[in-house]
Chain A
Amino acid sequence: MRIINVFFLSIWSISAFAQNEPKLGDLSDGSRATPVHLIQLIDEDSSVIRMDEQPLLPFSPGYTCGKCHDYEQIKQGWHFNATDTTARIGRPGIPWIYVDQQTLTQIPLSFRNWPGVYKPQQIGLTTLQFVQIFGRQMPGGGAGTDTLIREREDLFRWQVSGDLEINCLSCHDGEFAHNPAEYAAQTAKQNFRWAATASSGLAFVRGSAKSMPDNYDLYWGAAPDQPQDLPPQVLYDASRFNYKNEVFFDIVRDIPNSNCYFCHSTKILNSTRNERWQFGEDVHLAAGMKCVDCHRNGLDHRIIRGYEGQTYPPESEVSHDLTCEGCHLKKAEDAHSGISGHRSPRPVHRGIPLVHFDRLTCTACHSGEWPQGQSQRVKTAIIHGLGVKGVSKSDTIIPHIISPVFIEQENGKIAPHNLFWPSFWAVQKGDMILPLSSQIVRPLTKNIIINNDSTGTGNWLNLNDSLLIRVLDSLKTVVSLQDEPVYVSGGEIYRKNSVGKISSQKHPAANPYTWVFAHDVRPAAQSLGKRGCTDCHALNSSLYFGKVEVDTPFRPGTKHFKRMIDFQSETTLQAMIFSFSFLFRPWLKYLVISAVVMIMAVVLLYGFKGLSALVKFTAAEE
């Protein structure tokens, strides 16, 4: 018995030691050169892929890259840990937005517990459906691999689709043929295990896991009774394999900006400027920097988001250096510490009272488009699938993201945000608003709400009072008696009241979802305040009085707006009085200067008189 115990203890000790041992690729010898990645491809069965074997499977990034890099550590990274309930959620970020034009729905989703977002399951989306819809701009991992959040009814489908593993190539591939749009196309076809291979430029993938039955077997192929459906197949480019079955990956440590841009692009919808050349680029990138120069990470891939007060990675003291303030406002006494490598000019901020640095983020004056009298709409890659094959290029497509909106954060600083107004059908249980799934709503609305979008604008379909009443009446037939169907839109909750009319009510569930943005950063010459105080302190300033569209399909003839000040702690009256004072402030300045000159003159005059009295007094004493 004792011998057996010693044996198992030894095995455990060896395995524990082996886990802590850094892998070959994670232990730096100090060379700054990127190692050439001439490696064998390994499939999800941990077998080396050889061109003469059948069936040819897609390579598994987990096994292929995981041979030399600690996949388990990498999984903790910000891009992959959304479903990890122990991961820090940080400040609210860009959500996934589920959109259904026919049911007039746009609702923010996330597995992170950010206020205002819903879990996919809350609107009837299974994890598999979620990954199929949004996998286009996911670098894998998270919902794509987390088996704990999968629904039982999808277990067989997951066997067919495979996991959407972390695709290291999404970011680290420097190859020109790397094709993220192909990755997106593959995830839409439920070809999760094939997506990384298909986008790598090493292979061509055809067929669709979505069209395969639940009992489809990867090794046995498709059932003979459905010859029209092509099972997923991978066709490797044989010329890329050497005699040792090795393939060259153009792996880069410093991620190219274009790899980030596939998921992090923003298109500004401006009626006067609509061509790409009419817009600039972030001042840092224009100066030759890369996104990853600031958004850095270690092996654990817990990337620095770069906002002030970010608490993770908590152990990293240098994370503050990678914020605007940390880089540009470094104190002379801290010159010996932190990260070097960039010139980061120290702003002079001549004549800007210090209160501005307590009440505004750097980005408030320096980021985004120069604010206009009314916020504009933007399209973003993650929300609108920019760069994905076949995506609608319509500028009116929902969801309508409004930007910039100057909103006061929890720390009391005003920062530019993106904003959108959730719209969805729900039931009210007491004070709770529970969204209804599209599967319930769609069959009811399709006969009531006419889809007249023949030109494919993707814009809202019209919803008036009578249509809303009809939909709410229909919903009443499918929800339980004690629940009241409502429509959440444009910051209000609409319901049919006792006299058969539509009444509205404010509710936190109808509040807009907002998230801070920081890019593109404008140069100092184009920052707010450059033209003087009245860039912001004026009765028509965008920072306080800029109009924010309240977007809703309901009653399309009437446009509603809010003011920026509605999203700040100051009242409209306070902002107006303060701004109004700048009209006559120059005169007051001159008056005060005159007053202080006069005071100085009198002090001097009577100072001399006092001296005179002293001199006379001492003379008299003598």
Chain B
Amino acid sequence: MLFRILVVILIAVSVAWVMLNIRRGRMMPAAIWKKIKDEFRIFKNFKGDSTIKFFTRFRKMIYLLTMTLFLILAVTSYLQIVMTGGPLSGWLLIIHVSAAPFFAISLMMAILLWAHLRRFDQQDWQYLQQVVGKKKIPAILAEKNDVWEKLNFWLFMVSAIPAILSIIFQLYPVFDTDGMKFLLQVHRYSTLILFILVLNHGRWLVKQMNQN
């Protein structure tokens, strides 16, 4: 019940945030839709790509695939939770369990392709020093710094580990019913964290779009 309430609140807050941004002109649905369509165009016209270009394209493809699979998993699970509060069943269950392994594999590829780009470096520590008020860095560096997005990325990866493991353990005769209940809670709350991190990532994307 608590989890259901949390999910409802989270969805309500997300919808309210989107509506507010649309109203204030920070988000334009048509522009976002066009951006998404543009992003998905990278799945076409592979021919003639250089190796570097191919990897850039491939990296983005994996990113889009991971996000799409995550959204499928979120929708199929939260729809049931919000609507009935009961366990997943029927088509929603089939879609959820079918998408889940591909999400795990796609996430693995995402971390392999994105980890280096999202690594923390010395500039990030400098920026963090400024945040805590210990040091001032040039404005241009501060503006360009994406330490929060990096943090978001790594938190997503870390949270994904219990989310996946809690299901894997359920598929083996290791835990008893109480253990299974614990694993289910771990899965629920770790995926809730994943959902919040994805929303935060969305907020960052919108901000980027507006800056551009």
Contacts and interface: CB of A to CB of B under 8 A. Distances in A.
A281 B108 CA distance: 53
Given A349-B177, A352-B180, A613-B120, A603 B168 contact: no
Contacts of A596: 104, 108, 161, 164-165, 168
B5 to A, nearest CB: 19
A354 B124 CA distance: 44
A581 interface: yes
B171 A599 contact: no
Interface string B105-146: 101100110011011111011100000000000000000000
Contacts of A272: none
B188 to A, nearest CB: 11
Contacts of B94: 574, 577-578, 581
Contact of A592 (B105, B174, B184): B105
B29 interface: no
Given A349-B176, A351-B174, A359-B87, A613 B104 contact: no
Nearest to B150: A610
B101 A592 contact: yes
Nearest to B116: A606
A600 interface: yes
Given A353-B170, A570-B89, A603 B161 contact: yes
Interface stretch (B16-24, B152-160, B194-202): B152-160
A609 B120 contact: yes
Contacts of A347: 177
Contact of B119 (A570, A595, A606): A606
A589 interface: yes
A505 to B, nearest CB: 29
B173 A600 contact: no
B108 A595 contact: yes
Contacts of A620: 122
Given A600-B161, A606-B154, A354 B87 contact: yes
A599 B168 contact: no
Nearest to A593: B168
A524 interface: no
A530 B126 CA distance: 59
A interface: dominant SS = helix
Contacts of B25: none
A596 B159 CA distance: 11
Interface residues of B, number: 47
A570 B160 contact: no
B interface: dominant SS = helix
Contacts of B97: 578, 581
Interface in A587-622: 588-589, 591-596, 598-600, 602-603, 605-607, 609-610, 613-614, 616-617, 620
B135 to A, nearest CB: 9
A599 B100 CA distance: 15
A533 to B, nearest CB: 9
A350 B176 contact: yes
A602 B173 contact: no
Interface of A: 329, 347-355, 357-359, 412, 569-570, 574, 577-578, 581, 585, 588-589, 591-596, 598-600, 602-603, 605-607, 609-610, 613-614, 616-617, 620
Interface of B: 86-91, 93-94, 97-98, 100-101, 104-105, 107-108, 111-112, 115-116, 118-122, 124-126, 154, 157-158, 160-161, 164-165, 168, 170-177, 180-181, 184
Given A593-B168, A602-B115, A616-B122, 14 more contacts: A350-B175, A351-B172, A351-B175, A354-B87, A357-B177, A358-B86, A359-B87, A574-B90, A578-B97, A592-B101, A596-B168, A599-B107, A606-B119, A606-B154
